[in-house]
Amino acid sequence: MSALIIFALLIALFLTGMPISIALGLTVLTFLFTMTDVPIESVALKLFTGIEKFEIMAIPFFILAGNFLTHGGVARRMIRFASSMVGHWHGGLGLAGVMACALFAAVSGSSPATVVAIGSILLPAMVKQGFPKRFGAGVITTSGALGILIPPSIVMVMYAVATSGQLATGPNGETVTSASVGQLFIAGVIPGLVLASLLGITTWYRAWKNDYPRLPRATWRERGTALAESFWGLFLIVIVIGGIYTGAFTPTEAAAVSAVYAFVVAVFVYKDMRLRDVPKVLLDSASMSAMLLYIITNAVLFSFLMTSENIPQAMASWMVGQGLGWIGFLLLVNILLLLAGNVMEPSSIVLIMAPILFPVAVKLGIDPVHFGILIVVNMEVGMCHPPVGLNLYVASGITKMGITELTVAVWPWLLTMLAFLGVVTYWPPLSLALPRWLGMM
């Protein structure tokens, strides 16, 4: 009954058009003050302690690094390198877009930032070379989603924050802790590369079928030059992933290092950003970080309410009692998250759903790392379909195409992503093999 009241109130507030963060906070406060004896002091304390987690500091630093890289000429050099490598195949610039998105995803951590950085440069070039605008828009909109699967990833940090501190019970009564940011980053490497390859194959097939333009084959000298020009941007991948794996620094420290490195590269190495532009980048990053931290704060309160009412544990016991196995549960989770993606943006979905679904998943024997990657892939799909797909809106601003037209444009790649979601869901080794091989699990 408590769960029904809470979710009914939350949905009612959503339907008024109220911002998600405020709706979460009002739901919690209304329920606590009218239906429980929880003292007001504990609510205030939870508001402050909820965002004291060290991992949360990674979010503003990765946002800052992404903004420096977006404005600092890194994307243009990555596109040139990708074009030199795969531009001579069918749909050359389209394939270069997929590869450039994968490379930029490995340094930015954000899907919208990847779409803006790569799309604003590549889409006009594709149209100029003779590609249909729909084809280019479909490639960039879906490939940009790699920004949250290929590490570093802000959404992975959100999942780790949302489930941290939860001691769920496994199928045999054992205590299972949540996944760490480092485990999630390493686990996202192989799925990210596989999805990038699948999107590339889809791009190549459609280009081959329709005989779209190809670029002249680049010489090895030209490829070496392009690699040298993009080296400083690509080296950030080595710093972040290599630093986390070797234990040189934590994911949060890696985020801070990447922000400083991105600043130095953009201002002093590539010199595509002037010092006078830095304050604006800092202000934009602070504004975006504040928005996300406000959502996190209210989501922490919501998670506190769920825990105090014992709702996740009750749901886990009920599902196990109904004989719902892990196969049926994961199918249900996919449907639920894809439906949520129709009306909410990824950060809010993760912060609301992860604390509720995590104990149930663990009770059914699902690994926390595998479950985290599954949620991230669902968020990728959600960013590419209407009505609130963030990538669609970003791509619409770049291409000047309507959301309906963009929705039609992305379908071939979106179907590829849905098929990949099925593989990730029911083949855990795809996500777990690398962290296990590296001894992180």
**330-347, pLDDT tens digit by residue?**
998 998 888 888 767 788
- Residues 63, 289 contacting (CB under 8 angstroms): yes
**What is the model's pLDDT at position 50?**
66
Q: Above 80 in pLDDT, residue 314?
A: no
Query: Which of residues 28 and 428 earns the better pLDDT score?
Result: 428
**What is the model's pLDDT at position 46?**
72
Q: Above 90 in pLDDT, residue 289?
A: no
Query: Is residue 20 in a domain?
Result: no
Domain count of the chain?
A: 1
Which position has the token pair 């960013």?
383
Residues 213-242 have a mean pLDDT of 89
What is the pLDDT confidence band of residue 426, given thresholds at 50, 70 and 90? very high
Mean pLDDT rounded to a whole number for the chain: 85
Query: How far are the Cα atoms of 157, 252, 290, 301, 347 from residue 294, in angstroms, in the given order?
Result: 15, 19, 6, 11, 11
Query: Is residue 193 in a domain?
Result: yes
- Residues 138, 203 contacting (CB under 8 angstroms): no
With the CA atoms of 190, 361, 427 and 202 taken in that order, what torsion angle do they form, in degrees rounded to the nearest 10?
-60
Predicted model pTM: 0.86
DSSP tally for the chain: helices H, then strands E: 22, 2
Q: Above 90 in pLDDT, residue 421?
A: yes
Residues 350-369 have a mean pLDDT of 88
**What is the model's pLDDT at position 432?**
94
Quick: pLDDT tens for 133-166: 889 889 998 998 898 899 888 889 889 988 887 7
With the CA atoms of 262, 268, 271 and 276 taken in that order, what torsion angle do they form, in degrees rounded to the nearest 10?
90
- Residues 355, 306 contacting (CB under 8 angstroms): yes
Q: Above 80 in pLDDT, residue 248?
A: yes
Residues 264-290 have a mean pLDDT of 89
**What is the model's pLDDT at position 175?**
79
Query: Is residue 42 in a domain?
Result: no
Query: Is residue 12 in a domain?
Result: no
Q: Above 90 in pLDDT, residue 372?
A: yes
- Residues 223, 84 contacting (CB under 8 angstroms): yes
DSSP string, 179-193: PPHHHHHHHTHHHHH
282/64 Cα distance (integer angstroms): 7
Query: Is residue 270 in a domain?
Result: yes
Query: Is residue 231 in a domain?
Result: yes
CA-wise closest residue to 418 among 337, 307, 347, 329: 337
Q: How many Cβ atoms sit within 10 Å of the Cβ of residue 47? A: 16
Burial classification of residue 298, based on how many CB atoms lie within 10 Å of its CB (0-12 exposed, 13-18 middle, 19 or more buried): buried
What percentage of the chain reaches a pLDDT higher than 70?
A: 95
**What is the model's pLDDT at position 313?**
67
CA atoms within a 13 Å half-sphere pointing along the CA-CB vector of 278: 13
What percentage of the chain reaches a pLDDT higher than 90?
A: 26
How far is Cα of residue 223 from the mean position of the Cα atoms in its chain? Answer: 30
**What is the model's pLDDT at position 154?**
87
- Report how far apart the first and last C-alpha atoms of the chain are (Å, whole number): 38
Quick: pLDDT tens for 73-120: 788 888 899 999 998 898 888 999 999 999 988 888 788 888 888 888
Q: Above 70 in pLDDT, residue 1?
A: no
Query: Is residue 397 in a domain?
Result: yes
Q: Which range of residues forms the domain containing residue 414?
A: 54-437
Residues 364-371 have a mean pLDDT of 92
**What is the model's pLDDT at position 388?**
67
**What is the model's pLDDT at position 348?**
79
Q: Above 90 in pLDDT, residue 189?
A: yes
Query: Is residue 11 in a domain?
Result: no
Query: Which of residues 57 and 432 earns the better pLDDT score?
Result: 432
**What is the model's pLDDT at position 122?**
87
DSSP string, 261-316: HHHHIIIIIS--S-GGGHHHHHHHHHHHHHHHHHHHHHHHHHHHHHHHTTHHHHHH
